[in-house]
Amino acid sequence: MTHDQNFKNLILDYPREAIALFAAAEAQAIDAEARVTPVRQEQLQARLGEGFRELDVPLLVEWPDGRREAILFVIEEETEPARFSIHRLAHYCLDLSELLDTQRVVPVGVFLHAGDFPEQLTLGGDAAAYLDFRFLAYSLPRIPARKHFQSSNLVARLNLPNMAYASEEKLEVYASAVRGLADLEPDPERQLKYLDFIDIYAALDENERIVYRQRYPEEVAEMTRFAERFMEKGREEGLEKGLETGLEQGMKKGIRQGEAQVLLRQMTLRFGVLPQSAHEHVESADADTLLRWSERVLTASTLDEVFR
């Protein structure tokens, strides 16, 4: 999965929080009555055979009672600032403005890595400038992570590993991100989904994970509870499926799926982001094998020792 897709998922799952973080000044006018929905990207092609100009996530904010005019937020994630094209973003915003018949468009660029990028595009001649395009730039490496340690915005907490911090603060940053996920996201499936997001961008090595487990036992225990809740959900889904396709078979399948998710979470916490082969091993294993591997993961020093 690419960084672009990771951020697209994040913005679609938490659109209000994304707007509040990446476009704070504009977000102040968005109240609880507003409706935020992603816009289907179906622009007309200039010529047949051309690709669409699609960026990340256009979000349309509307007020059902009509007391405010709708506003469109166009959010683009760019991993490497050197590859960012302000012309492409401007062109895309103009496309959407024409498509949706609105001039209320807020362009936003979110930059994952450090680097310089153009912040303004001006087109004109000797007598005057005829087009002046700017956008809201949110460069994560320029934002102090400590500023958001206690934030109630989940998108901010999940992105703490992408923000600026000293090397000795890395484990504190990771712990604050995990604590935010535990406090702000009640859904166990999303908890596991975005624990992966934190893991990917924190990228703790094996030694850092050992120190983390020693220094932050409460957060480690919370991760275990994430997995247990997910396993319980798997059991419940298995029971529901069992009512349709055979109770015993459905329950067994649900329990096995839950146990597989728990094991994957345990291995991720111990060894970091897992290769695809590890996911395939776990997802295809039977219940007895999962039990053996769950016991081994507590003492194994490598992933191979779990699967031996």
CA distance 148 to 20: 13
Structure tokens at 136: 């809201």
Q: How confident is the model at residue 181 (pLDDT cuts 50, 70, 90)?
A: very high
The per-residue pLDDT for range 14-39, each reduced to its tens digit, is 999 999 999 999 999 899 899 999 88
pLDDT of residue 240: 58
Q: Assess if residue 184 is contained within a domain.
A: no
* 64 falls within a domain: yes
User: Is residue 177 assigned to a domain?
Assistant: no
How confident is residue 112, by pLDDT bands cut at 50, 70 and 90?
A: very high
The pLDDT assigned to 232 comes to 62
**pTM of the full structure:** 0.73
* 125 and 232 share one domain: no
Residue 289 lies in a domain: yes
CA distances from residue 83 to 40, 57, 75, 139, 149 in whole angstroms, order as listed: 25, 18, 16, 14, 30
* 222 and 120 belong to one structural domain: no
Domains contained in the chain, number: 2
**Within this chain, do residues 212 and 111 fall inside the same structural domain, yes or no?**
no
Mean pLDDT of 188-211: 89
With respect to residue 116, please indicate whether it lies within any of the assigned structural domains.
yes
- Quickly tell me which residue has 């409706």 as its tokens: 35
- Lowest-confidence pick of 139-143, 205-209, 219-223, 238-242: 238-242
d(Cα 304, Cα 161) in Å, to the nearest integer? 28
Residues 18 and 92 in one domain: yes
Residue found by looking up tokens 């907490």 in the block: 157
Residues 15 and 110 reside in one and the same domain? yes
The residue range of the domain holding 252 is 204-307
Are 115 and 81 contacting, i.e. CB atoms less than 8 angstroms apart? yes
Kindly state whether residues 14 and 124 are assigned to the same domain.
Answer: yes
pLDDT score of 285:
86
Same domain, 135 and 28: yes
Given a contact cutoff of 8 angstroms between Cβ atoms, the answer to whether 32 and 16 are in contact is: no
- Mean pLDDT confidence for 174-188: 93
Alpha-carbon 208 to chain mean position = 23
For the segment 95-116, the average pLDDT, to the nearest whole number, is 93
- Residues 136 and 209 grouped into a single domain: no
